[in-house]
């Protein structure tokens, strides 16, 4: 078993524990919309810019976990070339890079006791 597979399995176990303990709840888009309108919870959109451009939620705050990699350094160019070779040219998918400031930006925007509804496209973030 690879290191990445072990880390993913551990993350899944942590996620399942949080759901079981009701610290996290998965909502449908409709449930999230009603919750946002009827409570003081805030919406945090964590999708990359290319997904947010397709549709965004009025009143939400946008802080992407990953975003389209616009770097032109050697590392960025090699990631883009690899993505292109493994099918990015066919699927039209962009090369993404992790937002290293995500936690800091979120902590600056919201207090620790804020109830947050995370918005993502597929529920994987």
Please check whether residue 13 lies inside any domain of the structure. Answer: no
114 within a domain of the structure (yes/no): yes
Question: Is 115 inside any structural domain?
Answer: yes
Quote the CA–CA distance of 100 and 66 in Å, as a whole number: 9
Taking the alpha carbons at both ends of the chain, their separation in whole angstroms is 23
Range of the domain at 115: 40-119
Look at residue 82 and tell me if it is in a domain: yes
Of the pLDDT bands very low, low, confident and very high (cuts 50, 70, 90), residue 10 is confident
Higher per-residue pLDDT: 111 or 66: 111
Question: Residue 90: is its pLDDT beyond 60?
Answer: no
Bridging pattern class, strands 96-98 and 66-68: antiparallel
Is residue 31, in this structure, part of any structural domain at all?
no
Query: Residue 94: which pLDDT band, with cuts at 50, 70 and 90?
Result: low
* Catalytic residue list: 120
Residue 59, domain member (yes or no): yes
Lowest mean pLDDT among 49-53, 87-91, 103-107: 87-91
Q: What's the whole-number average pLDDT of the chain?
A: 79
pTM for the model: 0.65
At 17, phi and psi to the nearest 5? -65, -45
Q: How many domains does the chain have?
A: 1
Q: Does pLDDT of 106 surpass 90?
A: yes
Instruction: Assess if residue 104 is contained within a domain.
Output: yes
Establish if 83 belongs to a structural domain: yes
């Amino acid at each position: 078993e690879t290191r990445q597979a072990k880390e993913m399995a551990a993350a899944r176990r942590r996620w399942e524990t949080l759901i079981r303990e009701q610290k996290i709840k998965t909502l449908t888009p409709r449930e999230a919309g009603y919750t946002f309108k009827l409570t003081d919870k805030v919406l945090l959109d964590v999708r990359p810019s290319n997904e947010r451009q397709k549709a965004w939620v009025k009143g939400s705050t946008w802080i992407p976990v990953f975003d389209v990699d616009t770097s032109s350094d050697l590392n960025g160019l090699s990631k883009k070339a690899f993505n292109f070779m493994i099918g990015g040219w066919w699927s039209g998918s962009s090369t993404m890079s992790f937002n290293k400031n995500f936690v800091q930006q979120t902590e600056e925007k919201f207090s620790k006791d804020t109830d947050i509804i995370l918005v993502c496209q597929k529920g994987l973030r």
